[in-house]
Amino acid sequence: MASKAEQERMRQELENSFPEDLADIPTDDTPDSEWDTVRDESATVILFSKPGQRFVGHYEGIEEITPENDEPFTRHRFTGLNGKPYAVNNSYVLQEGLKNVQKGNLVRLTYVKDIPTGKNMNPMKDIKVQVKR
């Protein structure tokens, strides 16, 4: 194992091997309205872990994900009340609950309970889907 001094020297060497800090690179101050977004930031995936947990956000529709070396899957996209993108993996419950929700509607998802799905299988999460009037 390397000594503390050796670890510090390696840390500094690594730190110095990166290009200059972005704060030191000139940029411009033009507003976002003068730019076209060609790809939004990736959504934070919401994982319900305890009954009673809630998420509130504006529904943005379905997103199909096709990983390079894996099976495709579907997520429901939202914009949170903080303006950030979020996604919830699809399930039968969400698919049915969100199928008539219009893009932009304010939605509240509440994790109610687990539903047994069969022998040796993970339970399905029962999610209550509500739309703001």
pLDDT in tens, 35-44: 898 987 889 9
Query: What is the C-alpha to C-alpha distance for residues 91 and 117, in angstroms, rounded to an integer?
Result: 13
pLDDT in tens, 66-100: 988 889 999 999 999 999 999 999 999 999 999 99
- Of the pLDDT bands very low, low, confident and very high (cuts 50, 70, 90), residue 5 is confident
User: Which of the two residues, 51 and 32, has the higher pLDDT score?
Assistant: 51
Nearest Cα neighbor of 85 from 109, 63, 118 is: 63
Is it the case that residue 107 has pLDDT exceeding 60?
Answer: yes
Domains of the chain plus CATH, in order, are 42-133 (2.40.50)
